């Protein structure tokens, strides 16, 4: 899953990036509202962490512009402000959730997981496909009840497909949501990871749709 952080305070921005990368997310970051709005307009994200008190363009304006442009990615508003009016303004502008500073990293990750699950139509923290189970809270994957060890990138790819079970996901979409901006998008690593996952979890789990991409239908 790919996350955009729009936060102008350098120390907090670094901490957020480290926390999310440790949790297995691909992360892009912007340090003012103008850059953040541009990335949100031009890149594909599974969720955005957006500070309200940004330079250049404030967070509420960025969020309002995204929503008016039809950008529907989940947005978690992050701010030091604690008045009810600011919370209401953020939600009215199109925020999906609200977290005030200071906060615990565990709560931030839990809220992100919930936003991403809901945006893809999954209410439960455990995703299922046949005998395969993926627990988004622990990162544990099992096959017929037995734990299966995946690499970090194999897990990211499987998680994205399971969040979008029943849909055809293109190779380009997988690359956009698994890797950050600097990844070589001509790489063939997606095919390598698909092959490895099939070996570990079953050849029939992921279907190749020629010319379109991959689908997890079990």
Kindly list the structural domains of the chain, giving each domain's residue range(s) and its CATH number in brackets, ordered by start: 2-119 (3.40.50.2300), 126-216 (1.10.10.10)
Over residues 151-185, the pLDDT tens digits come to 988 999 999 999 999 899 998 889 888 887 666 65
Q: For the residues 121-134, what does the mean pLDDT come to?
A: 89
* Residues in the chain, total: 218
Q: For the residues 51-63, what does the mean pLDDT come to?
A: 93
Reduced 3-state DSSP string for the chain = CEEEEECCCHHHHHHHHHHHHHCCCEEEEECCHHHHHHHHHHCCCCEEEEECCCCCCCHHHHHHHHHHCCCCCCEEEEECCCCHHHHHHHHHCCCCEEEECCCCHHHHHHHHHHHHHHHCCCCCCEEEECCEEEECCCCEEEECCEECCCCHHHHHHHHHHHHCCCCEECHHHHHHHHCCCCCCCCCCHHHHHHHHHHHHHCCCCEEEECCCEEEECC
Over residues 181-215, the pLDDT tens digits come to 666 656 678 899 999 999 999 999 999 999 899 99
Over residues 68-95, the pLDDT tens digits come to 999 999 999 987 766 677 778 888 889 9
pLDDT at 125 over 90: no
- pLDDT score of 141: 96
Query: Taking the CA atoms of the chain, what radius of gyration do you get in angstroms?
Result: 18
- pLDDT score of 77: 93
pLDDT at 100 over 90: no
Over residues 7-37, the pLDDT tens digits come to 999 999 999 999 999 998 999 999 999 999 9
Q: For the residues 29-58, what does the mean pLDDT come to?
A: 95
């Amino acid at each position: 899953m790919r996350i955009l952080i729009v936060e102008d305070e350098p120390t907090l921005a670094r901490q957020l990036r480290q926390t999310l990368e440790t949790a297995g997310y691909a992360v892009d970051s912007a340090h003012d509202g103008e850059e953040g709005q541009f990335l949100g307009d031009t890149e594909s994200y599974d969720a955005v962490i957006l500070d309200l008190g940004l330079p250049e363009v404030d967070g509420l304006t960025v969020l309002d512009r995204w929503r008016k442009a039809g950008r529907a990615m989940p947005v978690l508003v992050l701010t030091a402000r604690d008045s009810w009016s600011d919370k209401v303004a953020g939600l009215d502008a199109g925020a999906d959730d609200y977290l005030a500073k200071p906060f615990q990293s565990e709560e931030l990750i839990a809220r992100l997981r919930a936003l991403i699950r809901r945006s893809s139509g999954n209410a439960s923290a455990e995703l299922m496909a046949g005998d395969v189970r993926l627990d988004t809270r622990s990162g544990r994957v099992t096959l017929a009840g037995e734990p299966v060890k995946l690499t970090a990138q194999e897990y990211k790819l499987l998680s994205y497909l399971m969040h979008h079970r029943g849909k055809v996901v293109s190779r380009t979409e997988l690359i956009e949501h698994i890797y950050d901006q600097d990844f070589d998008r001509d790489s063939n690593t997606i095919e390598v990871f698909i092959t490895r996952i099939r070996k570990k979890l079953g050849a029939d789990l992921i279907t190749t749709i020629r010319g379109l991409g991959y689908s997890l239908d079990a």
